Structure 1
Amino acid sequence: MSFCKALKKLCKKVICRFLTIPDIVVTLAFVFLTVIAVCYFKTSYGPSCVPPLLCRPHSYADFGVIGDFFGGILNPIFSFLGLVLLLATLRQNEKELALSRKELKKSNKALKEQAKTQKQQRFESTFFSLLDQHNKLLDVLTAASKGGSTVAGDLFLEIKCDAQPSKSKLLATETSFHQYARILYQILKFICIQNTNYSSQADDQLLDILKNSPYSNDEKLYSSMVRALLSNDIYLLLVINCYVTEETDDFYKFKKLIERYSFFEHLSTQRMTSGNLTSTSNHIKTG
């Protein structure tokens, strides 16, 4: 019994693999034609199955009778087989279209994943390039000074006074901190814009992003990488640099970025003896 099932399964596989729908239709048409021809000649001309017209070539009138018979029988059969072939072709086309749609959907998904990966790679390449420039400038500011402190620490002691005068003195003094602040601003802006739905790098959209876009996990990851590099002396200089009282101030966007990424969360204010400087740091922390 199992042998018969195996043989049947094998025959089915062979038929499905080597015979197409058109092959099957043509085979059936040939079988029908053969069976009908044999039955006709057997019934009409006896066991010999040889019609008189083949024995008497001059009796051509018999051709019309035979033609009418086969035409009346085979025309409906061939029409039916043609319909079957048409339906089978439509069915096959439907399957092929379904497979094409499925493959297209997979291809589209793969392209989206590839585009997402490429976008992430471009972001990280630019980010780490900016971070490398940032670290070089940071090394200059955190280098040991003659007084045993750091360059940034000495700069803070030199300009420390009330908040606004300190900022004015910091901006008026040509130091490496100016370049450092610019690169830090570009890094934070880049992190903010690239991890939201905004595609433009224009500054005029930055405030909209800061107000309307939620703080994403990717932003937290990359901003924390930057924040972890800073010393307290750099934080103190940033407090002065980001002292802002009006939205029209050039440093307002920088201040909002600092707030968004909680840069002063762990700021030590022990060296900020001026009351105004302490209130400035609190102002930046609380927004």
Structure 2
Amino acid sequence: MTSKRTKLRAYFVKFLGFSTLLSVLLGFVVAYVVFVKLNVLSNDMLSDLESLSKMGEFFGGIVGPIWALAGVILFYLALIYQRKELELQREELFETRKIMDSQSQTIEIQQFENTFFKLLEFHLAASSRIESQEAGNGFEVMYKAFTKAVNDTKKRRKKDGSSEILDEEAFETCFRQVYDSYRNTISHYMESYKSLIYLVAEKSKDPNFYINIIKPHLTEQEVLLQFYYLITYNKDEKFKEIVESYGLFERLNFRSVQAIDRLHLDELKKTAYQPTKLATAEKEEKTEG
């Protein structure tokens, strides 16, 4: 449709140009005819002011409007070409803006990725320090210590005649005892991890892509620690929502959790345990619904 209009406009401009040229030539033809007629007039008629006045009126009445018409057409053509130049300038500005936006996005992505990989490096370094503890893998040692604390509490309650089912406060107490023993290393690890996840969730154009970069670096013991840290200790609702949105506990060992208390698995939506893209898609469907 636009191409057809452009062709019609081009034909119209050519028509106007031809009309202008024709008007100018017609004016010259009329002027030539008038002057030729004047040459054949007698000297008496040329000296007659009234006759000359009539000839001038005739000349001005015929040639003047023709050339005035040509002037109007030329003015209109100038407006058309000026409009065309403005359109070209607008298109050029639009293309320039697109290039600048593209460059801006590229710079923004580069800045984000620089920050992302630096935080990922800090996180891996913190994780490595915990894994290389003298007593063994710190994550595994901490999980075993937490399991022992929960089982000891259950045995103590059974011996006292109380219910073996632990409430939230009892679980938090057990985890806090273990967590406090490793506070210096674990707190630094969790803060760097949460900073990394928040960066991806809030600043990234494609969170799924970067979350899937992070996941393979997480060991089974790390995910277990993160799970109990969120459920029984930290209880950060914002972090919990991100976990459920991007399936951050996809690699969680369900058997290890069920060995302590399977009910904790129900505290998070099932999207927390799904692959990243599937969790995101299901979250979006529920939001739209």
Alpha-carbon spacing, 1:280–1:255, altered in 2? closer, same or farther (3 Å): same
Aligned-residue sequence identity (percent) comes to 21
Cα 1:150–1:265 shift into 2, 3 Å: same
Q: Find the residue that maps to 1:125 and give its secondary structure.
A: helix
Q: After TM superposition, give the deviation of residue 228 of structure 1 in Å.
A: 0.9
Greater helix proportion: 2
Q: 1:123 to 1:167 in 2, by over 3 A?
A: same
Pick which of 229-238 and 64-73 moved more.
64-73
How many residues in Structure 1 have an aligned counterpart in Structure 2?
Answer: 234
Residue of 166, 169, 174 corresponding to 2:174: 166
Match of 2:141 in 1: 154
The question of 1:45 aligning with 2:39 is answered yes
Deviation readout 1:127-165 (Å, 9 max, x if unpaired): 11211211111111222x444x31322233334322322
Structure 2: stretches of 5+ with no match in the other structure: 1-13, 151-170, 273-289
- 1:224 corresponds to: 212
Deviations 1:25-72 (A, max 9, x none): 58963x4454334322333433xxx9749xx9xx48375454334222
Aligned to 1:90: 79
SS at match of 2:79: helix
Q: TM-score, normalised by structure 2?
A: 0.65
CA deviation digits over 1:98-146, x for unaligned, max 9? 3334334434443443343333233222211211211111111222x44
CA distance, structure 2, for counterparts of residue 76 and residue 259 of structure 1: 81
2:29 to 31, 35, 48: 35
1:252 maps to which residue?
237
CA contact (8 A) 1:239 1:280 kept: no
Match of 2:224 among 221, 236, 239: 236
Q: In structure 2, what is the Cα distance between the partners aligned to 1:51 and 1:185?
A: 109
Distance 1:39 1:82 in 2: 22
Q: Distance in 2 between matches of 1:89 and 1:177?
A: 75
* 8 Å Cα contact 2:112-2:204 kept in structure 1: no
TM-superposed deviation, 1:256: 3.1
Correspondent of 2:69 among 63, 73, 80: 80
CA contact (8 A) 1:244 1:251 kept: no
Q: Counterpart of 2:221 in structure 1: which amino acid?
A: D
Gaps of 5+ in 1: 1-15, 197-217
Distance 2:201 2:30 in 1: 82
8 A contact 2:130–2:139 mirrored in 1: yes
Aligned with 1:263 (options 228, 231, 248) = 248
Aligned CA distance change for structure 1 residues 229 and 282 (closer, same or farther; 3 Å): farther
Contact 1:264 1:285 in 2 (8 A): no
Q: Which amino acid aligns with 1:78?
A: W
1:184 and 2:193 matched: yes
Correspondent of 1:132 among 121, 125, 132: 121
Report the CA distance shift for 1:51/1:84 in structure 2 as closer, same or farther (over 3 A).
Answer: farther
Verify the 8 A CA contact 2:23 2:69 in the aligned structure 1. Answer: no
Match of 1:280 in 2: 264
For 2:77 and 2:255, the matched residues in 1 are separated by 86
CA drift of 1:230 comes to 1.0
User: In structure 2, what is the Cα distance between the partners aligned to 1:266 and 1:152?
Assistant: 15
Choose the corresponding residue for 2:202, options 189, 193, 212: 193
Classify the secondary structure of the residue corresponding to 2:217: coil
Deviates more, 1:172-181 or 1:62-71: 62-71
**Take 2:138 and 2:122, find their aligned partners in 1: how far apart are those partners?**
18
Output the CA distance in 2 between the equivalents of 1:96 and 1:264: 59
